[in-house]
Each structure stands twice: as structure tokens, then as C-alpha cells.
């Protein structure tokens, strides 16, 4: 085992992919300078500005450029600096990338990775803090990956780059700099495979991205009270490893779904609906959802802290399933 | 430009005429089939604009990427897409270019470098830049071409793409078919800038405006741009002033404009113009010109037979093709 960070594993995965396959290139605003969080730092020194392409602030066009290059045989890794700005690229992503393979009767493929990051907690205000992944999960043709840990982000990014489909890779800015233990050699992680991070027989907690750590903290607290929670990180939302979730619920008979995105219309609703359809008879309590309130993210520290769902909310939700 | 174009010869002139006839008669037939409910979806015809498609696409190689918009039949046909597979696509059949999943606004024929039409105006422009970028990254001399109308020029996609294409000096040729109407509205109601070539002037983009109903003018100017782009230069903008004989879509009563007088159209019609010119220049005789029309008519009727006999697409394809494997 070795100590590293979520962010350094992203950079390492980009280096590895670009060394292994000359078709891979990185494109986005400030990527040659490393970007605001240094995710692409050092790439330009090894691969040059031909393969590490800085762009103007033109999210719509650069997404289109990446799609055109992808369907012409290249493997672009496009960075959209904040997921909040993906709104500007959605026409390309939704109307072009997601549908090109389908609408062409299978002639075109778009092996594009769109890396972006979301999440609140850094006083970024309502336009730099959102969790918008559920928008993307609603679009057939896109895959949506949402890593929570340094240990598997390398493998997930490698699989995303190797995938023949457009993949939206949603990082979380508050996870970037945490020191974490990872195996010496990063393990391959297939897209569509969940990971059970803690075994337990009393309640299943499915958590996304930053909420995975919060769910593990809640599980520790529950364990002190004699309740064993099983914590599952789906890692990819589309395709979703529903089998792993349903298998767990069949044993625990209780489910909490937790994410930072606004609860209303969030991906937790999809998981809850899918689980009740597959395992209604196994549920001993209503499925509980944890998510942010139906408001924009506030700026003021006291307001933002109160807004953000965390371990307390996950704990309370788990408790609610046990009443 | 790097060198003079080789002069037009008789076979190329006849080739342009044949292609324009194929597009014209195909689209007129599609209009009839639409009224008979045999082709499906929103149908946008380019009748009257054939010179642009032919003058551009017939000079390209199969491995040059062409992108188009919602009015795409002519571009696809001129780039080499087989008539019968285009028509089968419009009819939603299994033998359609896209197995019936795309339709009129989303024609794709990768084998012939027709990388795709898009139904969202302006969205095709940056994708063409991406194909040009891919060619450069691969060290290839392929050129990317994108067709769009004057309506697309007001989109953000266009403005962003012109900036990127010039900034990166991409080997891409932007071909604007300026027919004076964005859907149902004259250009003057949308912008103060009459000529698209003026709009891009500050970017120092090499650009020219030509009579888009003169296939030879299109062919000559585009050819010079193509030679330069093939040599790694770019980008270029070719603005073709043209005229859409039909409404915005099939079924459009076109009450927003006056019909062109038949006599005026005789003067403008790109096919009649090439026929007159070709006979006068001795490139072909009147009988050759008439034969070009007859052959195109036969090819269209064969395409109709082929498409009608093609089965509807198996439903399993829908799920199968949502993701690539």
C-alpha cells in the first residue's frame, strides 16, 4: 500500500493512458497549465501542446471538437472545469455524442471522456458547487462514472478512456487532496461494477461520490450502537450495478440512498424505484433518501454547512429504516 | 493559393451535371413520397441549391470528412451515398444508410466520408473542426468540410468555431449556403450583417463569396481552398449565394415570401445554367445533357423500388445500438 490522493491518481491515469495510446489527447480550458486543481499538471511537458490542448472559454465548441475528433479515430479526454459549466456543452453531449452511434445505425462511435468535477463545501456559491449527475443519467447513450476513492479512480478513468462510448467522469472537488491508502499497482475497475466497502446485515447504504465517506462514518456510529450497515459505492451510475444493490437489500431488508445532489429528481430516486421493483417483498421499511434541499447552494459558510448532507443525515436515515 | 486549378474537362462537367440531376430528381421524388406518407419525418429539400453540393463534394476523397445540417440529401448524394440507401433511410427501412434509426436529418455514410447531418442548427460546425484536428494529430492530409445555412451563423457554435478554427489554423472549409432565409425569416430580420464573409473578417479567415447557383464558380473557388487545405493550410470560408426553391420543409406553405417567377428561375437554375454553358463550350452535347437527366430519373426509380422492398428495421436494433460494444 502507498499513500496518495484522488487527484494524483487522476493525473497518473492520464499519463498512463497517453503513454499507452497515442490516440489519447487532453483538451480543455487551462489544461496545459494543469487546470485549477492541477489534475493535468505535467502532461504538457511530456506530451507537448499537440496532445495537451488549451482552449478558449468555449464549452459548446470544444465539446463538439472533441466529439468530431473521437468519431474520426482519436480518444479525447475533454475537461469541463466545473460541472456547472456543462450546461454550455449539453447540446453537443446530449444531441451529438450520446446519439451518434445510434443515429448512424452503428457506423459512428464516440470514444470520448468528459472529465468534470462537482460538489459543494468550498464556498463556491450556487454556480460552482452543483451536483448535476442526474441530468446526465437521463440520456441514453451516455455512461456516467462517479468515483469516490483514490483506490479506484485510476482504474475507472482507464476504463472510461478505453470505452467506445461517451463517458462523463464526474469527480468531486472536496475529495481531491485527501490522503488515502491505495494499492501499489492500481487495480483495473470495470465500468458498471459496484464496490461493497463495508459488510453488514442490518441496513444497506448506497452512497455516491463524497457521500461514500460520509456513509462509512455513519456506519461506524451505527456499529457502536450495534447496527451493522452495508455500504455500497456503485461507482458508475450508468450502467448501474443494480444486482449488487438488490442482492444486499435482500439480506438487510432496508435501504438508504445518499447523494449530495438535490434529493428532488436526484439519482437516488431511480435507485429507490429500481430496488422496490426488484425486491419489494424484501423491504421491511420504506426506502430512505438523503440529498440536498431543493434550493440553490448558498454561499455563506453557516448556510452552506447546513445545506450539505453528511454523515448525520445518513445516520438519521438509517435509523429511520430501523424504527 | 498554392496553385491554379486544373481546367474543367468534359467528363468532369458531365459529372457535375449528372450529380445535380440526381439530387434534383431524387428530392422532387422525395417530395412526392412525403405527400404520399411513404417517407417519414421532417423533410427539408434543397431543390435549387444543388450546385453547392456538387461543386464541393465531387472534388473530395472518400476519406475527407463532410458534415451537413438538416437539409442534407444533396450533400450526402454528392459525397457518394447510394441513392437507394438514402431513400431506404428516409423510409425507415433496414437497408437505409443508418438502418432506419437516423432519417432525413441524420444521414451518415462513413464509407464515403459523410460523417453526418445534424438536426440541431450550428452543432455540426465544431464537429468538423474535430475531424480536422484528428487528421492533423494523425499526420494525415484529410480535409474536413461543413455545410451550413446562413441561419446557423447566428449560433454561438458558429462564433466559437470560427475563433477556434482560425486560432488553430485547422484544415477545415466552412461552406455557407446563404439562401437568404433562416427557416421562415429573411436574413435581414436576424442580423445587420448581410454577407457571412463580412462577419468573419476580423478573424483573418480566407474567405470568398460566390454565386452558389453557378456550379463552376463553386467548383473553382472551393477547389483552390481544397488544394491549400490539403497542404495543411486553413481554415477557409466559402459563402455560396443561392436560392431555395421549396419551403423550409415539405408542407411549408411558404407564405413568408413571394414565389420566384418562372422566367427568373430559368436564369437562376443551376442545372439549366450548366447545360447551356456546357453545350456552348462544347463540353457535352444537348443529347448528353438530356441523357444525364434520363439516367438520373431511372436511378431514382430504381432507388424507389429498392427502398419499398426493403424490410422495416428489426426492433432489437433499437436497444442493441444505444451503446457501442
Query: For residue range B204-249, what is the model confidence (pLDDT) as tens digits?
Result: 899 999 999 999 999 999 999 999 999 999 999 999 998 877 777 7
Q: Is the pLDDT of residue B77 over 50?
A: yes
pLDDT (mean) for A104-125: 98
Distance of CA A130 to the CA centre of its chain: 13
Chain A (35-54) residues lying within 8 Å, Cβ to Cβ, of chain B:
50-51
Are both A233 and A157 inside the same structural domain?
no
pTM (predicted TM-score):
0.96
Q: Is the pLDDT of residue A138 over 50?
A: yes
Q: CB contact, 8 Å: A103 with chain B?
A: yes
Which pLDDT value is given to residue B184?
A: 66
Tell me how close the Cα of B288 comes to any Cα of chain A, in angstroms.
Answer: 37
Contact (CB<8Å) A104/B106: yes
Chain B contact set for A67 (CB, 8 A): 126-127, 130
Nearest to A221 by CA among A195, A198, A246: A198
Chain A contact set for B138 (CB, 8 A): 73-74
Which pLDDT value is given to residue B247?
A: 73
Task: Fill in the DSSP letter of residue A286.
Answer: P
Tell me how close the Cα of A274 comes to any Cα of chain B, in angstroms.
Answer: 19
Contact (CB<8Å) B322/A141: yes
Are both A6 and A143 inside the same structural domain?
yes
Which residues are CB-contacts of B28 (< 8 A; sequence separation ≥ 6)? B47
CA-CA distance, A100 to A110, in Å (whole number)? 7
Tell me if A188 is assigned to some domain: no
Which pLDDT value is given to residue B4?
A: 55
- Among residues A157, A182, A207, the one where a domain terminates is A182
Using only C-alpha atoms, what is the Rg of chain A? 19
CA-CA distance, B280 to A314, in Å (whole number)? 84
Percent of chain B surpassing pLDDT 70: 96
Are both A228 and A100 inside the same structural domain?
no
Where do the structural domains in chain B lie, given as residue ranges?
10-320
Contact (CB<8Å) A69/B130: yes
Are both A39 and A131 inside the same structural domain?
yes
Tell me if A149 is assigned to some domain: yes
Are both A273 and A172 inside the same structural domain?
no
Chain B contact set for A60 (CB, 8 A): 126, 156-157, 160
Chain A contact set for B102 (CB, 8 A): 103-105
**Out of B65, B119, B157, whose CB is closest to A64?**
B157
- Residue B58: asked if its preceding bond is cis (omega within 30°), the reply is no
Chain B contact set for A70 (CB, 8 A): 130
Which pLDDT value is given to residue B6?
A: 65
Are both A165 and A275 inside the same structural domain?
no
C-alpha cell at A170: 464526474
Task: Fill in the DSSP letter of residue A301.
Answer: H
- Which fold, B10-320? Rossmann fold (3.40.50)
- Map B245-310 to HEC letters: CCCCCCCCCCCCCCCCCHHHHHHHCHHHHHHHHHHHHCCCCHHHHHHHHHHHHHHHHHHHHHHHHC
Confidence of residue B2 (pLDDT cuts 50, 70, 90): very low
Chain B nearest-CA residue for A74: B134
Q: Which of A29, A79, A101, A128 is catalytic?
A: A128
Are both A42 and A174 inside the same structural domain?
yes
Q: CB contact, 8 Å: A13 with chain B?
A: no
Domain hosting residue A31, numbered range: 2-182
**Out of B108, B127, B160, whose CB is closest to A67?**
B127
Which pLDDT value is given to residue B262?
A: 73
Contact (CB<8Å) A104/B108: yes
Confidence of residue B253 (pLDDT cuts 50, 70, 90): confident
Q: Which domain CATH number covers A220?
A: 3.40.50.920
pLDDT (mean) for A26-35: 97
- Could you give phi then psi for residue A184, rounded to 5 degrees? -55, -50
Q: Is A59 a catalytic residue?
A: yes
Chain B (202-261) residues lying within 8 Å, Cβ to Cβ, of chain A:
none
| Contact in structure between A299 and A202 (CB atoms under 8 Å) | no
Are both A165 and A125 inside the same structural domain?
yes
Distance of CA A192 to the CA centre of its chain: 12
Tell me how close the Cα of B160 comes to any Cα of chain A, in angstroms.
Answer: 6
- In the numeric block, the cell 471522456 is attached to A113
**Out of A67, A103, A164, whose CB is closest to B324?**
A164
Greatest distance between any 2 Cα atoms in chain A:
60
Contact (CB<8Å) B164/A55: yes
Q: CB contact, 8 Å: A91 with chain B?
A: yes
Are both A177 and A258 inside the same structural domain?
no
Chain B (256-315) residues lying within 8 Å, Cβ to Cβ, of chain A:
none
Task: Fill in the DSSP letter of residue A147.
Answer: -
Tell me how close the Cα of A67 comes to any Cα of chain B, in angstroms.
Answer: 6
Q: Is A128 a catalytic residue?
A: yes
Mutual angle of helices A242-252 and A267-279, in 10-degree steps: 60
| Contact in structure between B106 and A103 (CB atoms under 8 Å) | yes
Nearest to A261 by CA among A132, A145, A138, A170: A132
Are both A265 and A178 inside the same structural domain?
no
Are both A17 and A161 inside the same structural domain?
yes
Q: CB contact, 8 Å: B116 with chain A?
A: yes
Q: Is the pLDDT of residue B103 over 50?
A: yes
Which pLDDT value is given to residue B182?
A: 63
Percent of chain A surpassing pLDDT 70: 100
Using the CB atoms, write b or e for B181-206: b if 16+ within 10 Å: bbeeeebeeeeeeebbbebbeebebb
C-alpha cell at B182: 433562416
Which pLDDT value is given to residue B1?
A: 42
Q: CB contact, 8 Å: B88 with chain A?
A: no
Segment A231-283, tens digit of pLDDT? 999 999 999 999 999 999 999 999 999 999 999 999 999 999 999 999 999 99
- Residue A239: asked if its preceding bond is cis (omega within 30°), the reply is yes
**Strand pairing partners for B269?**
none
Tell me how close the Cα of B151 comes to any Cα of chain A, in angstroms.
Answer: 17
Task: With H, G, I as helix, E, B as strand and everything else as coil, classify residue B145.
Answer: strand
Higher pLDDT: B2 or A190? It is: A190
Q: Is the pLDDT of residue A209 over 90?
A: yes
Contact (CB<8Å) B161/A55: no
Chain B nearest-CA residue for A48: B137
Are both A173 and A212 inside the same structural domain?
no
Tell me if A294 is assigned to some domain: yes
Contact (CB<8Å) A101/B323: yes
Tell me how close the Cα of B104 comes to any Cα of chain A, in angstroms.
Answer: 11
Contact (CB<8Å) A68/B126: yes
Tell me if A8 is assigned to some domain: yes
- Map B171-232 to HEC letters: CEEEEEEECCEECCEEHHHCCCCCCHHHHCHHHCCEEEEEECCCHHHHHHHHHHHHHHHHCC
Q: CB contact, 8 Å: B96 with chain A?
A: yes
Which residues are CB-contacts of A28 (< 8 A; sequence separation ≥ 6)? A35, A40, A53, A54, A55, A62, A78, A79, A80, A81, A115
Which residues are CB-contacts of B257 (< 8 A; sequence separation ≥ 6)? B181, B186
Segment B8-55, tens digit of pLDDT? 888 999 999 999 999 999 999 999 999 999 999 999 999 999 999 999
**Strand pairing partners for B241?**
B178, B211
C-alpha cell at A217: 462514518
pLDDT (mean) for A79-87: 98
CA-CA distance, A112 to B117, in Å (whole number)? 20
> Mean pLDDT over all residues of chain A?
97
Segment B310-322, tens digit of pLDDT? 999 999 999 999 9
**Out of B98, B101, B137, whose CB is closest to A74?**
B137
**Out of B119, B137, B160, whose CB is closest to A61?**
B160
Tell me how close the Cα of B34 comes to any Cα of chain A, in angstroms.
Answer: 21
Q: Is the pLDDT of residue B256 over 80?
A: no
**Number of compact structural domains in chain A:** 2
**Out of A68, A103, A165, whose CB is closest to B131?**
A68
C-alpha cell at A64: 463538439
Which pLDDT value is given to residue B16?
A: 97
Q: Which domain CATH number covers A64?
A: 3.40.50.970
Q: Is the pLDDT of residue B5 over 70?
A: no
Tell me if A218 is assigned to some domain: yes
Nearest to B42 by CA among B93, B121, B105, B125: B105
Amino acid at each position: 500500500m502507498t499513500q496518495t490522493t484522488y487527484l494524483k491518481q487522476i493525473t497518473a491515469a492520464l499519463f498512463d493512458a497517453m503513454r499507452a495510446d497515442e490516440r489519447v489527447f487532453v483538451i480543455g480550458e487551462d489544461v496545459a497549465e494543469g487546470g485549477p486543481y492541477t489534475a493535468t499538471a505535467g502532461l504538457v511537458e511530456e506530451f507537448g501542446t499537440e496532445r495537451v490542448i488549451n482552449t478558449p472559454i468555449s464549452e459548446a465548441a470544444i465539446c463538439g471538437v472533441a466529439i468530431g475528433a473521437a468519431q474520426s479515430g482519436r480518444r479525447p479526454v475533454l475537461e469541463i472545469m466545473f460541472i456547472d459549466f456543462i450546461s454550455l456543452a449539453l447540446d453537443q453531449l446530449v444531441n451529438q455524442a450520446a446519439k451518434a452511434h445510434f443515429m448512424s445505425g452503428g457506423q459512428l462511435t464516440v470514444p470520448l471522456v468528459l472529465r468534470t468535477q462537482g460538489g459543494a463545501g468550498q464556498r463556491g456559491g450556487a454556480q460552482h458547487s452543483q451536483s448535476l449527475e442526474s441530468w446526465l443519467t437521463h440520456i441514453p447513450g451516455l455512461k456516467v462514472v462517479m468515483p469516490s476513492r483514490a483506490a479506484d479512480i485510476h482504474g475507472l478513468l482507464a476504463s472510461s478512456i478505453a470505452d467506445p462510448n461517451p463517458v462523463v467522469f464526474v469527480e468531486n472537488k472536496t475529495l481531491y487532496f485527501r490522503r488515502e491508502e491505495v494499492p501499489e499497482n492500481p487495480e483495473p475497475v470495470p465500468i458498471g461494477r459496484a464496490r461493497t466497502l463495508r459488510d453488514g446485515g442490518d441496513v444497506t447504504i448506497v452512497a455516491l461520490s463524497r457521500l461514500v465517506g460520509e456513509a462509512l462514518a455513519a456506519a461506524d456510529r451505527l456499529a457502536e450502537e450495534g447496527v451493522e450497515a452495508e455500504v455500497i459505492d456503485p461507482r458508475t451510475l450508468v450502467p448501474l450495478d443494480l444486482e449488487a444493490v438488490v442482492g444486499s437489500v435482500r439480506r438487510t431488508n432496508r435501504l438508504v440512498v445518499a447523494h449530495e445532489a438535490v434529493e428532488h429528481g436526484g439519482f437516488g430516486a431511480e435507485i429507490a424505484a429500481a430496488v422496490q421493483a426488484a425486491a419489494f417483498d424484501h423491504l421491511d421499511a420504506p426506502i430512505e433518501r438523503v440529498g440536498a434541499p431543493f434550493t440553490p447552494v448558498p454561499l455563506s459558510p453557516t448556510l452552506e454547512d447546513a445545506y450539505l448532507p453528511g454523515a448525520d443525515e445518513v445516520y438519521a436515515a438509517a435509523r429511520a429504516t430501523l424504527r | 493559393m498554392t496553385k491554379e486549378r486544373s481546367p474543367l474537362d468534359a467528363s468532369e462537367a458531365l459529372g457535375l451535371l449528372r450529380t445535380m440531376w440526381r439530387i434534383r430528381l431524387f428530392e422532387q421524388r422525395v417530395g412526392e413520397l412525403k405527400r404520399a406518407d411513404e417517407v417519414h419525418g421532417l423533410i427539408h429539400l434543397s431543390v435549387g441549391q444543388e450546385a453547392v453540393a456538387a461543386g464541393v463534394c465531387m472534388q473530395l476523397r472518400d476519406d475527407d470528412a463532410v458534415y451537413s445540417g438538416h437539409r442534407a440529401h444533396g450533400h450526402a448524394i454528392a459525397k457518394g451515398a447510394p441513392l437507394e440507401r438514402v431513400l431506404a433511410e428516409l423510409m425507415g427501412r433496414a437497408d437505409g444508410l443508418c438502418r432506419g434509426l437516423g432519417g432525413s436529418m441524420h444521414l451518415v455514410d462513413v464509407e464515403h466520408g459523410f460523417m453526418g447531418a445534424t438536426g440541431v442548427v450550428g452543432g455540426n460546425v465544431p464537429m468538423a473542426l474535430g475531424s480536422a484536428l484528428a487528421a492533423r494529430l494523425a499526420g494525415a492530409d484529410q480535409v474536413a468540410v461543413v455545410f451550413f445555412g446562413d441561419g446557423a451563423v447566428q449560433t454561438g457554435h458558429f462564433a466559437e468555431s470560427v475563433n477556434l478554427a482560425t486560432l488553430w489554423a485547422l484544415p477545415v472549409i466552412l461552406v455557407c449556403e446563404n439562401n437568404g432565409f433562416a427557416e421562415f425569416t429573411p436574413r435581414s430580420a436576424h442580423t445587420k450583417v448581410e454577407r457571412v464573409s463580412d462577419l468573419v473578417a476580423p478573424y483573418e479567415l480566407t474567405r470568398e463569396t460566390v454565386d452558389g447557383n453557378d456550379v463552376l464558380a463553386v467548383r473553382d473557388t472551393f477547389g483552390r481552398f481544397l488544394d491549400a487545405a490539403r497542404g495543411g493550410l486553413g481554415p477557409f470560408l466559402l459563402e455560396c449565394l443561392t436560392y431555395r426553391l421549396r419551403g423550409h420543409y415539405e408542407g411549408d406553405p411558404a407564405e413568408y415570401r413571394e414565389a420566384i417567377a418562372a422566367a427568373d428561375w430559368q436564369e437562376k437554375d443551376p442545372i439549366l445554367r450548366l447545360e447551356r454553358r456546357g453545350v456552348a463550350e462544347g463540353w457535352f452535347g444537348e443529347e448528353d445533357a438530356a441523357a444525364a437527366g434520363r439516367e438520373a430519373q431511372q436511378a431514382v426509380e430504381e432507388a424507389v423500388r429498392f427502398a419499398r422492398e426493403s424490410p422495416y428495421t428489426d426492433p432489437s436494433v433499437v436497444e442493441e445500438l444505444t451503446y457501442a460494444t
